[in-house]
Structure 1
Amino acid sequence: MTISNEQPILRVVPRPGDINANGHIFGGWILSQMDIAAGIVAAREADGPVATVAIEAMEFIAPILLHDVISVFARVERIGRTSIAIRIEVVASRERGQTEVKVTEGLFTFVAIDELHRPRPVKREPA
């Protein structure tokens, strides 16, 4: 399954401070970028604030290198009463755009929250 034929939610370039001892980008850095992108999509769908409640099926496929341009793609996988699951896919563009490599993917679940930070129903358009 690939969703990278759509427009990315985020496009980011890692910085030298994001490198681990192996010369690759920290997994936590890309996880953060994925959570930001998923949160943007979830908040749009929920029409308000959301909170990350789970990250499932996270898979690191290939390392991210210092000069890669990272594109984070997202799509809604399911919507429940108070929750939204967002499928995230990350593609690295290398060699000045000559090569694209899928580097990771995961499923992020959010819950819509109210002003007291309690779960609230996801607002939906009338059918």
Structure 2
Amino acid sequence: MSDRSPLIRITAMPTDLNPYGGVFGGWLMSQMALGAGSLASREGKGKAVVVSATDFAFPGAMAVGDELSVYCEILATGNTSLTIAAEALARERNGEAETKVASGTFKFVMLGDDDKPRPVRAVGGKWA
């Protein structure tokens, strides 16, 4: 694993489990969206909203007490949008073993104060 830093780190709790004792895929997706949204807001310096979520895979499972780390990277920058890949790794509660438990892609649109799409980057100190 590279020397990247997680955008989100959280421990799975009993309320995050399904009736079979596994962590809900929806909980994983929401944590990934929070991490990707943090990166989008930082990069675009403002309000970013999810407009699509695609390409999800759940190659591993995590248990209650496992620590989830979400890593994100920008795949593409449009005029008003950012496409961000998210990867979720679970670390076992009492050890160092990590398992990739989810991955997916989010598309965010930057919004201005009027809640309408605005450019990702300012031009000449102002939003174009």
Report if TM-score (shorter chain) is over 0.5.
yes
CA RMSD of aligned residues (A): 1.7
Cα pair 1:4 1:89 within 8 Å, conserved: no
Which residue identity is paired with 2:110? A
1:112 corresponds to which letter in structure 2? Answer: M
**Aligned residues: percent identity?**
35
Report how many aligned residue pairs link the two structures.
124
Residue 6 of structure 2 corresponds to residue 8 of structure 1: yes
Match of 2:48 in 1: 50
Normalised by the length of structure 2, the TM-score is 0.90
- Superposed displacement of residue 98, structure 1: 2.8
Gaps of 5+ in 2: none
Cα gap change, 1:125 to 1:69, in 2 (>3 Å): farther
1:20 aligns with 2:18: yes
Counterparts of 1:26-37 in structure 2, within 5 Å, are 26-37=24-35
* TM-score, normalised with respect to structure 1: 0.91
- Return the alpha-carbon distance in structure 1 between the equivalents of residues 31 and 75 of structure 2: 19
Deviation of residue 112 (structure 1)?
A: 0.4
- Alignment gaps of 5+ in structure 1: none
Counterpart for residue 99 of structure 1: 97
What amino acid does structure 2 have at the position aligned with 1:109? K
Task: Give the Cα separation in 1 of the matches to 2:71 and 2:50.
Answer: 17
* Runs of at least 4 residues off by over 3 Å: none
1:47 shift after superposition: 1.1
